[in-house]
């Protein structure tokens, strides 16, 4: 059999297998997200922050941010529950490859080059809660900026789990015009340190 034909068949088989595994990951994450309104709450918050930051009057800005307080608390509470629910996923199904591109059986063949999505979701839950409490005493503008970065980085992690780090970075860039490195620089120091230690991503 022609070498290039064999190579083409092997590449096609690997691609189809990888697609199948990614569909299973998407279904798994969707199953655990379904009981919650995390995506809708996140959209409400980020749009509200943009509106607040566009207000020239400081008092009016504070009013808009005050209205968002309930949504922030609801999002943090729901994400805590989501992370706890996802903690029940068996360890082998929760592994995420650190390789830049998705490859079939990457987490099984290269377990040292992977991390646990359950730990990453716990990390994001703590980051969102920390931003909500404003432990660093940030100004309203800086607090909203940090919370937005925490949420976008969490969204990046979900895309990474479903696809790959490269795809996740491309999607966040396309949707929010924000590079992964900028998100990482904009979250709290505690989130950044824990994230780098777990994922090894820069």
Distance CA 89, CA 73 (A): 25
75-91 pLDDT per residue, tens: 999 999 999 999 999 99
The verdict on pTM exceeding 0.85 is: yes
pLDDT of residue 52: 87
Q: Judge whether residue 138 has pLDDT over 80.
A: yes
Write down how long the chain is: 202
Task: Output 4 or 75, whichever has higher pLDDT.
Answer: 75
Q: Judge whether residue 148 has pLDDT over 90.
A: yes
- What tokens appear for 126 in the block? 């703590």
| Rounded average pLDDT over 175-200 | 95
Q: Beta partners for 95?
A: 116
Split into its structural domains, the chain has a count of 1
| pLDDT-above-70 percentage for the chain | 85
pLDDT of residue 3: 58
Domain coverage including residue 163? 3-199
| pLDDT-above-90 percentage for the chain | 68
pLDDT of residue 18: 61
Assign residue 141 a region (left: φ > 0; alpha: ψ between -120 and 50; beta: otherwise): alpha
Residue closest to 149 by CA, chosen among 30, 58, 138, 62: 138
Instruction: Output the DSSP codes for 153-194.
Output: HHHHHHHHHHS-HHHHHHHHHHHHS--HHHHHHHS-HHHHHH
Strand (E) positions, the chain?
A: 95-97, 114-116
Distance CA 83, CA 33 (A): 9
Q: Are 7 and 40 in contact (CB under 8 A)?
A: no
Torsion of CA 27, 23, 160, 104, to 10 degrees: 140
- Phi then psi dihedrals of residue 187, to 5 deg: -80, 175
Strands 95-97 and 114-116: antiparallel
109-126 pLDDT per residue, tens: 667 779 999 999 999 999
The overall average pLDDT reported for the chain is: 88
């Amino acid at each position: 059999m022609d070498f290039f034909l064999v190579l083409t068949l092997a590449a096609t088989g690997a691609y189809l297998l990888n697609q199948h595994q990614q569909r299973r990951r998407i279904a798994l994450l969707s199953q655990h997200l379904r009981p919650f309104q995390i995506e809708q709450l996140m959209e409400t918050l980020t749009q509200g922050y943009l509106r607040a930051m566009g207000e020239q009057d400081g008092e009016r800005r504070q009013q808009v941010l005050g209205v968002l307080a309930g949504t922030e608390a609801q999002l943090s509470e729901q994400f805590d529950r989501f992370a706890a629910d996802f903690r029940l996923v068996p360890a082998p199904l929760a592994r995420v490859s650190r390789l830049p591109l998705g490859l079939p059986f990457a987490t099984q063949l290269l377990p040292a080059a992977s991390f646990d999505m359950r730990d990453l979701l716990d990390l994001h839950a703590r980051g969102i809660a920390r931003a909500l409490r404003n432990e660093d005493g940030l100004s309203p503008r800086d607090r909203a900026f940090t919370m937005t970065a925490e949420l976008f980085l969490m969204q990046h992690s979900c895309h990474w789990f479903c696809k790959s780090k490269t795809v996740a970075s491309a999607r966040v860039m396309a949707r929010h015009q924000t590079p992964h490195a900028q998100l990482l620089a904009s979250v709290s120091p505690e989130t950044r340190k824990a994230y780098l230690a777990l994922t090894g991503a820069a």
